[in-house]
Structure 1
């Protein structure tokens, strides 16, 4: 909503009430409460809720012909009451707590609703939605400018254009059959549905007159979100005023139409009565102000039902699966164009496919990829494809297919939303162990990502829901249930799906994919099966599902294949360094200098010094290997037991990343912790102002531009820096100016959205271990390469390869942290010392092996398997105490193990369980809110509790332990600097967050 208010003016005017009898009406309850407590705007009384464990069965379109069973556990009657004043709401709560509210001999239970700014309530009452009641709506496809094909229609629909939250909604009531759990029976319940879309998702709007009124034709960029909740509520209003929505949860669901109209069609034809002319004019004025493109209508399009109108579709991806003579690669791209809305299925005639049959594959691929870049529908598919093919043939450079190394693969992606799916054009990405092994069938791998509509993140509340808090109080049960979206996701994972003539089955996922709600699928070809791939990957003996899934995912880590290291060259028994129950050497081993050099050559790193550490995958081992002198015994790779995750015979040393120059940036979490530890807010302001000043001069001052590129851009700024050093000037070289503008835009975005402030005396460094045992507890060794033009040539030849890198040994106090960091003790204050024996180690952070507890574990419970640490030696960023706050205890959660080996279905269940219970982002956001609201900042008790929850949530992919977000910690409001436009916000009073507007 983006509505701002002052936290001190936040009020509660809504309460939820229960405990009254089944026969009580909304008016009776209102009359009683107004007599006992105070004036009421609205009372909505509910006696219905969805049956526990049930799903709506949208395959049953006509509910009048099925037998309705009502013998399921019903919800207790409850009501949502909006008082005129917050004092009345508080009075109702107090009176109920003292058992002074007695209705018909029964004590009432009261729970307070959400806390909202007073100005927000006032704005809702004064911002009237443009409501057009009883209209008709048709969802379909604009197949040409002159013809509209209807897929689904409904009457008695309310259409709302609401400036309050910048949304449009179609609302109506529909009878719905719910399949009762573990039975073949159904309960038929009237439900309120709403199709909600953001105004920014309206691509174009057209308006014209019809014989019986007005027509509004909306062309959307994506499908709307679909919600429902039980209807037939008893509503009593004392005054017709617009109020914030009740605390009665809406439930997300999938496309309920038989024809898949909501997911498949992006055109909405709204038929309005002549009496709505004035409201229509106001709605159009509002849409214009929101920059929705308005198109003129020369003449009204013909309206007719689409072929097979009303028939159920079996394919809810809405794909063209197979055409004779058309390869899979081409069909996938045809569906990419179709799903993007550039073409529609009614245009894809045999003439269209004949064009594809008559041209070489590379011409068709280039042509269809070009069509995928269109942002508007094309109404003559045949003509447009022919023109594009001719254009491609005249530009043979578009057909050049560069040979790729084994480290690069072309990946096809499928995005699945609650209502539809999108085939995305293949992209070239870094490969992995499995794709390299099965290169001959690599095109049969598909990366599937589950997302919300508009390509937004699919949050856990899309997959599960809870009853209203008052119902939980009445029944002592939260009634946690899964949505129909959850069922859709799990069904696709379990049963697989068909796409472009192929059947795809779930394979596995990496840890990064788990966070992104992505997974690998594979289409078996008769020779290669999913089970064959898993057998080749290795032996996974873990009986903990989370660990087993994580181990499998290691084979899908994006890596570079380098040297084949024979087993006799590997020591897998390098001793661990353990003390007090901690493993100081967790995740790290060593690599001989000659092998490190060979790896560098395989990676083709044309740099002037060999990386001193690599993050690796080798057989079933993962972690970091640091360059360390060999003993002359022929051992080139020394690995520890903590690095061994599963058994594998794979002997290629794979590289995930390596130590290199990585500029340091603060972020919101680190700033919050440094601030509460005593670093003055003015320091952050000054650093921000300095950064802004340089970014604003980057296009005009060559020296400033060069400084920004070489100090804060890592490899991304190399080309621009080389051009500047060669004498090019941004004012006369458009390509250089474009690159500098991109750098400026990216850093300004990071500053505004993430509070990423550049720290010149700071770096992001890979953690390593002092294998010599010289460093003492509280010490560290840091040697970093200084920014220079030489670094920019690492990918542009070896001109500076023989020169000695300019190194700096850091001395004095340093602050280190690892993301996510929410606890004040996650920032560790160490003393950087000069140790000559470690001078061969650079661009990494060397931790001691001595002490009572590893400093890595103290910093957000991390280890040495590849974690990156923020390090700052700018003394202005060191807390005045020069000491660390006491570290949080990061004890590993107790693992849940099965009494049998983990199977394929267990992995699938874990994946969907993670999707439905992934709360790390929510917890981190809540931490920001509570730290901002409290005078104690991140040391507030609620923030410390959230830090503990976050630590458990981070380890969910390893342990499988679910973290529940306590209701009282869920933010009702968000500070303005977080940019939560879709939520209620307030103006922050903290001084250090103001720079996000810079």
Structure 2
């Protein structure tokens, strides 16, 4: 048990002087705010690993509903953790010792006072030691806590021993400390103390500077690379005299630097000259359909951050308004350090004595809530534009994110909403969700006229349930057209998650009548009126490997699946990951079984005979996959299940399946599919499908109730054989199995499915499912207004409690002998079901105090709370992996190949490639520049992480935020790779289209060889190093460019290697056998 309270005393430095400011140059400190002359204490507290500045300050308060103000003494606390300190510099002057702390992000600001920081104020003064510390916004007049990241702390000589102990403690936590720094000049900033009126501090306007450039200038300033005092007239002059495309790339590069610049003009000028000298780095990627550049603004309690535009999947609204796409902005409300904004930052409960006197047990709302509400209601100015709230999707609501739009004289927010559709629901939650449908990330495919759509396919209703909720049908012909548009011509999907007009859900392939109808939609799919007729695709059925997670393990364990089963599965997985760097057969199996299509490049390289010991890019990919999967084991108990998949839910439209049955047919990936474009010889690949028969366990996240795991019988129904990589449910029975599993439906939910006998509970039966009937929906007596949507968004931020409930469930399941069967867990599962539906119903969930955990198991990693050593299976799995992973993480982070160590494979140098070299070099420069930008933007160490989609070095933001960032990065890289694959496939060769397949392939091989040479040949490696800005960032040479053409390089290697003396029965050699008579 973690019971250290106050056995560890904090290092306390009393009566220090504190100044917050910025560095104008390396030895010039500009003060933005100065603390009180007396009574400031600086504490470094090993107990909870925090640093605090604590002091008392008089503060003026206004009382709600009254004009008068009162001045009250408040205790303020500025708090940060050691990992947020970039570096400490030590100085001395005549009378004190000085430390200069540079913070990576703004600290947390608290205060404690009688009136507290509330909107609904208590109408009398009450100062009490039991008052809680309340989170607040920046209390300095000029917004110095948000703007400035340098803290100058002057310590009296008598506190010298405490200071040395505090510094030693921080050094143990890897904080760099520089002693005997040169003298520091200190002065007030020119506008010291001048109030900042806007909620977003930024440079609003500079003559001759376009919006795109000004937005990036603010992004660089908000990140702290160049601060406002360095942005002189000369700095803006440098921007004015260069073309916009030079400045865009230059500012993105500067934004991605790891350390602040102390000379803005020198840095900008240097990068501009570097780009002008290497114009290849300026080439813009070709525009792809469905891809859009999105600008983001992160708003925290003390500041706001502009983020450089990111490439992401577009949506219906942005596609229609693409000419003003740069006027859309995504706002996300977060806590400092890019952490999730918990509701305790927005609300708090008064101390016990206040509640006793006022009989008010409702939470009070803090000034951060007021800041959020002000931005939502009144908008804000950024780069000279006024942004107003527009709408949000369901995912954005969970992430506390929303779309804003900068209106102009032609387009205003009501115009956009009117174009989106007619939203008649008088329930605010439903109305908001339906508007959000238009902002779902989708691929626009083909137009389907209303004459080809039947919107009256009847729903299958029984016993008060809808067995077909959210699913329709698509004709084979239309499905093929959609697949071609999405370039999914191999193993075409059999079902799509769609948006069409005001409908949402899934459509599965079924033979159509010859009546011209290609799309069949049910009433349950229609959410609002719209005349939009493009069929938009969110996702589709495909091979998705099966992995367990903590929730599923908790439920299976409660249903008597033995601990040994999970233990052995993790041991097997770890053993395979450990051996994959030396055993190529095993590495191949890991890649093809557990990495989906993201492992294809590495698998092709292994098949062709490349070895990780001599091929650095292959080694880097395998290392990244290993590190990421080990990390997921530690953080999420994400154990690979060979006999399992994640599958989209579909319906047996024929009515053959009975209650308790399902149909499951899964594909097994084949590398042969990667060669299908090489000509007609390669097009006849085997689908490699497997029909599962016997008992299966299914679950859908979140799953907290033991009845959420359903045990079904998978049966073989030949008439359903056209459906694969999906879970087909029956339309017969008393209650839909979808509804039994976490109250889900068929509008796109993914289900974990396993046919591993060891994971089927010994009873072979499902637990009684929970009742997921949604509560009564509140409706307004009038139409929903824009202000109602804003109120709903802010109300959700305060009341969103699903994460808290799920965490509490983990704790109580871990503490109880009964696990997830414990009555507290059952209650929490019921609360979670209501919380999940909040975006649809608006029904608020309050977790009873008795269910709030006091302690957390060690595997949850909640350092800020007291913890205990878990004796359950999740604790055992966590501790087994933790030590090995921590050591491995350190090893992996420094495991990059140095440039001079890159071996060059002469097998891949073929005659005829020389004519492609010049073009290849230009392409590589462009590709590397864009990939480097992605690595810098997402703070990822290695290109192999991005290439494989196994990202492990990203900073440890809160789990949900990190997951979202990983998905955005994967999507951005996939877009980049697709773009350059198109470049590779486009040939500037006369009469190329008239050539035979074999002749085309010879030319493609020459081009692939050229791409390899400019990446690996020592002469070109040296040129790549010369291209890099000497800022300490680019020590490694990028190698992934060559492997965009991995299929053609593999052909060359296969021919050099030959297929004699190769064991054809080994999976790693199947590809060679397949290609042997074709190349």
TM-score between both structures, scaled by the size of structure 1: 0.85
Where in structure 2 are the equivalents of 1:181-200 lying within 5 Å? 181-200=64-83
CA deviation map 1:308-356 (0-9, x unaligned) = 1111112342211111111111111111111111001011111111111
Is the 8 Å Cα contact of residues 561 and 654 (structure 1) preserved in structure 2? yes
Shift of the alpha carbon at 1:635? 0.6
Q: 1:628 aligns with which of 499, 510, 525?
A: 510
CA deviation map 1:475-495 (0-9, x unaligned) = 543141110000000100111
Deviates more, 1:177-186 or 1:654-663: 177-186
Is the 8 Å Cα contact of residues 550 and 874 (structure 2) preserved in structure 1? no
Distance 1:750 1:859 in 2: 25
CA shift in 2, pair 1:469/1:944, >3 Å:
farther
Distance 1:376 1:633 in 2: 65
Q: Does 1:133 align with 2:22?
A: no
CA shift in 2, pair 1:493/1:778, >3 Å:
same
Is the 8 Å Cα contact of residues 858 and 875 (structure 2) preserved in structure 1? no
Q: 2:234 aligns with which of 351, 364, 368?
A: 351
Aligned position for 1:149: 30
Shift of the alpha carbon at 1:185? 2.4
Where in structure 2 are the equivalents of 1:255-654 lying within 5 Å? 255-469=138-352, 471-472=354-355, 475-607=358-490, 609-654=491-536
Shift of the alpha carbon at 1:606? 3.7
CA deviation map 1:8-42 (0-9, x unaligned) = xxxxxxxxxxxxxxxxxxxxxxxxxxxxxxxxxxx
Alignment partner of 1:175: what SS?
strand
Where in structure 2 are the equivalents of 1:792-807 lying within 5 Å? 801-807=683-689
Where in structure 2 are the equivalents of 1:112-127 lying within 5 Å? 120=3, 123-127=4-8
Alignment partner of 1:736: what SS?
helix
Aligned position for 1:815: 697
CA deviation map 1:606-644 (0-9, x unaligned) = 42x221000000000000000001011111000000000
Distance 2:616 2:217 in 1: 35
Is the 8 Å Cα contact of residues 606 and 795 (structure 1) preserved in structure 2? no
Aligned position for 2:636: 754
Shift of the alpha carbon at 1:950? 0.3
Deviates more, 1:201-210 or 1:725-734: 725-734
CA shift in 2, pair 1:652/1:796, >3 Å:
farther
Distance 1:823 1:203 in 2: 44
Aligned position for 1:13: none
Is the 8 Å Cα contact of residues 198 and 380 (structure 2) preserved in structure 1? no
> Would you tell me which structure has more strand in proportion to its own residues?
1
CA deviation map 1:893-952 (0-9, x unaligned) = 211111111111111111111111111001000000000000110010100000000000
Is the 8 Å Cα contact of residues 50 and 81 (structure 2) preserved in structure 1? yes
Is the 8 Å Cα contact of residues 691 and 757 (structure 1) preserved in structure 2? yes
Q: Does 1:728 align with 2:583?
A: no
* Structure 1 gap ranges (5+): 6-116, 234-244
Aligned position for 1:94: none
Shift of the alpha carbon at 1:189? 2.5
Shift of the alpha carbon at 1:800? 5.0
Q: 2:820 aligns with which of 938, 949, 964?
A: 938
CA shift in 2, pair 1:791/1:126, >3 Å:
farther
Distance 1:469 1:573 in 2: 58
Alignment partner of 1:633: what SS?
coil
Where in structure 2 are the equivalents of 1:538-937 lying within 5 Å? 538-607=421-490, 609-790=491-672, 801-937=683-819
Alignment partner of 1:574: what SS?
coil
Distance 1:194 1:135 in 2: 14
Alignment partner of 1:196: what SS?
strand
Task: State the number of aligned residues.
Answer: 867
> Would you tell me which structure has more helix in proportion to its own residues?
2
Is the 8 Å Cα contact of residues 199 and 375 (structure 2) preserved in structure 1? no
Aligned position for 2:1002: none
CA deviation map 1:489-528 (0-9, x unaligned) = 0100111111111111111110111111110111112111
Distance 1:246 1:857 in 2: 50
Alignment partner of 2:18: what SS?
strand
Is the 8 Å Cα contact of residues 605 and 794 (structure 1) preserved in structure 2? no
CA deviation map 1:214-241 (0-9, x unaligned) = 11110110111001112799xxxxxxxx
Is the 8 Å Cα contact of residues 693 and 715 (structure 2) preserved in structure 1? yes
Distance 2:250 2:179 in 1: 30
CA shift in 2, pair 1:316/1:471, >3 Å:
closer
CA shift in 2, pair 1:778/1:264, >3 Å:
same
Distance 1:371 1:798 in 2: 48
CA shift in 2, pair 1:146/1:904, >3 Å:
same
Aligned position for 1:219: 102
CA shift in 2, pair 1:817/1:408, >3 Å:
same
Is the 8 Å Cα contact of residues 698 and 704 (structure 1) preserved in structure 2? yes
* Structure 2 gap ranges (5+): 117-127, 882-1079
Is the 8 Å Cα contact of residues 199 and 371 (structure 2) preserved in structure 1? no
Distance 1:738 1:219 in 2: 33
CA shift in 2, pair 1:321/1:794, >3 Å:
farther
**CA RMSD in angstroms, aligned pairs only:** 1.7
CA shift in 2, pair 1:745/1:477, >3 Å:
same
Aligned position for 1:993: 875
Distance 1:344 1:319 in 2: 11
Is the 8 Å Cα contact of residues 605 and 795 (structure 1) preserved in structure 2? no
Distance 1:540 1:466 in 2: 37
Distance 2:429 2:510 in 1: 34
Is the 8 Å Cα contact of residues 582 and 854 (structure 1) preserved in structure 2? yes
Distance 1:892 1:625 in 2: 25
Distance 1:864 1:500 in 2: 44
Q: 2:111 aligns with which of 205, 228, 242?
A: 228
Is the 8 Å Cα contact of residues 14 and 159 (structure 2) preserved in structure 1? no
Alignment partner of 2:847: what SS?
coil
CA shift in 2, pair 1:939/1:739, >3 Å:
same
Distance 1:963 1:794 in 2: 52
Alignment partner of 1:573: what SS?
coil
Alignment partner of 1:149: what SS?
strand
TM-score between both structures, scaled by the size of structure 2: 0.79
Distance 1:189 1:889 in 2: 52
CA shift in 2, pair 1:691/1:141, >3 Å:
same
Alignment partner of 1:427: what SS?
strand
Is the 8 Å Cα contact of residues 606 and 797 (structure 1) preserved in structure 2? no
Shift of the alpha carbon at 1:724? 1.7
Shift of the alpha carbon at 1:737? 1.4
CA shift in 2, pair 1:290/1:353, >3 Å:
same
Q: Does 1:173 align with 2:56?
A: yes
Is the 8 Å Cα contact of residues 593 and 630 (structure 1) preserved in structure 2? yes
Is the 8 Å Cα contact of residues 450 and 517 (structure 1) preserved in structure 2? yes
CA shift in 2, pair 1:298/1:481, >3 Å:
closer
